[in-house]
Amino acid sequence: SALFAAVEMAPRDPILGLNEAYNADTRSNKVNLGVGVFFDDDGKIPLLRAVQAAEKARLAAMPARGYQPIEGLAAYNQAVQKLLFGADSQLLAAGRVLTVEALGGTGALKVGADYLKRLLPGSKVYISDPSWENHRALFEAAGFPVETYPYYDAATRGVNFAALKAGLGELPAGAIIVLHACCHNPTGADLGVAQWRELVDICAARRLVPFLDMAYQGFADGVEADAVAPRLFADSGLSFFVSSSFSKSFSLYGERVGALSIVTAGKEEAARVLSQVKRVIRTNYSNPPTHGGAVVAAVLNDPALRQQWDEELAGMRERIRAMRSSLLAKLQERGVQQDFSFITQQRGMFSYTGLTAAQVERLKDEFGIYAVSTGRICLAALNTRNIDYVADAIATVVK
Ligand code: PMP
């Protein structure tokens, strides 16, 4: 039949396309700096010891696999709320927050976007310029027009805060603004605490609808410090959305563990909003899978495992920091004139290096080093064995 005869090939995902090219490369010293995954110093994705312990206990208990509630595991959702807002948050005590388990950070954004489309059908979504490439696609797929607000400043390799404030100051009431809570992807450039305060004030004054994307809690300065944005918004009295992902912080990428939290004006309102969000979930995938959320809840709700996770998370964070300092030092040792000191100021897994598309192309062609054409590299893909090679290559292409 002719059902699919006119179907066109969709464009390849730029980053997954990079992976395919990397996998097909036969050079033994090739390096993939394109992906957003944390690797240990042996170049492997870690399975955290705290996760292993929780999984062993879960397996030994041989739990039956009945359906979960539509909103997922209560112990998990409560643990997520404490990570975001603090164990003794007034917001939580007042019952203002509802949290639903979701399929990774992406799933949380998707449920949030679908619900927002029902709540504010005529609204527009604003994402940072630049942003994680899936933000635009996701909110467009939910039916929103998506525009950008000013964010990154190529000259300083940091945030152009004046432009950001001016941009947000022009938005209409009810505009949805997607904010990276920490470890901005792709630039690595974050706001400081004083800047977050100002931003919260602008959102309140202009009656914007903030949607915080928390995909890297614990990767910048630590679990508590990295929650400054949700906690400042919490103090403001505003209503807002937060998506959480544990893909990176628990190294559980494939288990799809995330959550959507919505901060409302009060307990009774939270119950009504939850009932509507459950309808969105029910017609998408009905209820979330059991394993990932159960493991994360087991770790977060057990003091010993929680401490072990904190230590392992600190280890991941410190390894990335060490790679940042080491890369900077090695570029300087190689006599690179250009100022790369921003590499140690940017936070999280990524850096916008300022490498041009042509330089990125040369890294690939001449060295088998794969980066995103925008110059984004993943620092967590560097290790003590490949970093000299990468520094040599970058020094060569920028000269
Ligand atoms: N938001 C941002 C900013 C991200 O970088 C990512 C992951 N790359 C996600 C959301 C999605 O997270 P997950 O893999 O848990 O769906």
pLDDT tens for each residue of 302-350: 999 999 999 999 999 999 999 999 999 999 999 999 999 999 999 999 9
71 band by pLDDT with thresholds 50, 70 and 90:
very high
Nearest CA to ligand 1 atom 10: 105
Which of 103, 247, 351 for a ligand 1 pocket mutation test, highest count of atoms within 8 Å of Cβ? 247
Q: Which pLDDT tens digit goes with each residue over 217-231?
A: 999 999 999 999 999
Question: What atom of ligand 1 comes closest to residue 135's alpha carbon?
Answer: 1
Does 258 sit in the ligand 1 pocket, CB within 6 Å? yes
Q: How many CA atoms lie within 13 A of 203 on its CB side?
A: 27
pLDDT surpasses 80 at 14: no
pLDDT surpasses 90 at 264: yes
Share of the chain above pLDDT 70, in %: 100
**Average pLDDT of 117-136?**
97
For residue 255, give Cα distances in angstroms to 82, 179, 251: 21, 25, 9
**Average pLDDT of 278-295?**
98
- Average pLDDT over all residues of the chain: 96
At 368, the amino acid letter reads G
Task: Find the angle CA(200)-CA(316)-CA(376) to the nearest 5 degrees.
Answer: 65
What positions carry a catalytic annotation? 132, 213, 248
Give the global pTM.
0.97
Nearest CA to ligand 1 atom 8: 36
Question: What atom of ligand 1 comes closest to residue 253's alpha carbon?
Answer: 14
Name which of 207, 211, 206, 197 is nearest 146 in CA terms.
211
Contacts of 381 (CB under 8 A, 6+ apart): 31, 32, 33, 35, 37, 39, 43
Nearest CA to ligand 1 atom 2: 215
Cα 101 to the chain's mean position, in Å?
A: 16
236 band by pLDDT with thresholds 50, 70 and 90:
very high
Does 209 sit in the ligand 1 pocket, CB within 6 Å? no
Is there a contact between 268 and 51 (Cβ–Cβ < 8 Å)?
no
Q: How, if at all, do strands 158-159 and 152-153 pair?
A: antiparallel
pLDDT surpasses 90 at 376: yes
Nearest CA to ligand 1 atom 6: 215
| 348 vs 317: CA distance, rounded Å | 8
The per-residue pLDDT for 353 is 93
